[in-house]
Amino acid sequence: MSDIYNAPQAELTEASSDASNFGSIPKALAGDYRVAIGDTLSEAWQRTGGNKGTIWLGVILYTLATIAISVIAAMITGQSLTDPSENGGVAGILSDLIVLAATAPLSAGLIMIGIKIARDETVSGTEVFAHFDKMLPLAIGMVLMYLLIAVGLVLLVLPGIYLAIGYLMMTPLIVDKNMGPWQALETSRKAVTKHWFAIFGFGIVVFLVYLAGFLALLIGLIWAIPLMSIAYGVLYRNMFGGHEANPDV
């Protein structure tokens, strides 16, 4: 005879198991996380069901907004929209900086869609417009990242490759953990370094998935892009966990 006063052990065990998949900043910095490429892609594939439309809406909104921002930046700086070969100089650099600063929050929103799906959080395609309050730190972070990677590539190439993978989690750390640009760059680099080769392998596999979708007459991208987005979200979740205030790290 069952005891109605007993706690629902199965449900608690399942919840505990789910929670164990969530990392944290201290765990990530200590390397206390797994990069199981097969498991990550398998979970991401399961989560694409019912979420492809959300991700594709985000992609469409991101694309349209980026085009509009590029046109406005060109008009402000006097760049040619019909003959890019005429562009350049200080005005060209200024136009590029405007586009980078204005699109950085859009990229962050697109990334957060995959992360929120991985964490079973409510999200919509309009998430791409939700992080303009972080435009300055995101833009500074992007500029620093590009500069450091470029310097690393000049210095025998390998340091640049190391940093390109190391800074993979910079953007969500700024918007999700409320970090400053340099703190996000260093937190990402230090955490990724613990399993750098595994994450490098993850990046190669994700690229191959995209390539396969592209070569399949572009039709495969209908599944490949949501899969890549959520797979990144699962990896981030397993490393850094859920949304939280920024602790001292």
pLDDT single digits (tens) 182-229: 999 999 999 999 999 999 999 999 999 999 988 887 788 999 999 999
| Distances, alpha carbon 31 to alpha carbons 146, 159, 189, 196, 238, in Å | 25, 21, 11, 10, 11
Write out pLDDT tens, residues 174-193. 999 999 999 999 999 999 99
For residue 108, is it within any domain? Answer: yes
For residue 5, is it within any domain? Answer: no
Burial of residue 16 (CB within 10 Å: 0-12, 13-18, 19+) is: exposed
Which residue, among 158, 231, 245, 155, has the nearest Cα to 199 in the 3D structure? 231
Number of domain units in the chain: 1
Write out pLDDT tens, residues 12-48. 334 334 555 689 999 999 999 999 999 999 999 999 9
The pLDDT of residue 7 is: 41
The pLDDT of residue 46 is: 96
Write out pLDDT tens, residues 78-115. 777 666 666 667 777 888 899 999 999 999 999 999 99
Top-confidence residue, 178 or 4: 178
Which residue, among 189, 182, 185, 148, has the nearest Cα to 166 in the 3D structure? 189
Residues 6+ apart with CB under 8 A from 1: none
The pLDDT of residue 150 is: 95
The pLDDT of residue 245 is: 52
For residue 150, is it within any domain? Answer: yes
For residue 18, is it within any domain? Answer: no
Write out pLDDT tens, residues 154-173. 988 899 999 999 999 999 99
For residue 142, is it within any domain? Answer: yes
Let me know: does 174 contact 192? Beta carbons within 8 Å. Answer: no
The pLDDT of residue 50 is: 92
Structural domain of 68:
25-240
Let me know: does 146 contact 99? Beta carbons within 8 Å. Answer: no
The pLDDT of residue 198 is: 97
Write out pLDDT tens, residues 56-72. 999 999 999 999 999 99
For residue 89, is it within any domain? Answer: yes
For residue 12, is it within any domain? Answer: no
User: What single letter denotes the amino acid at residue 78?
Assistant: G
For residue 231, is it within any domain? Answer: yes
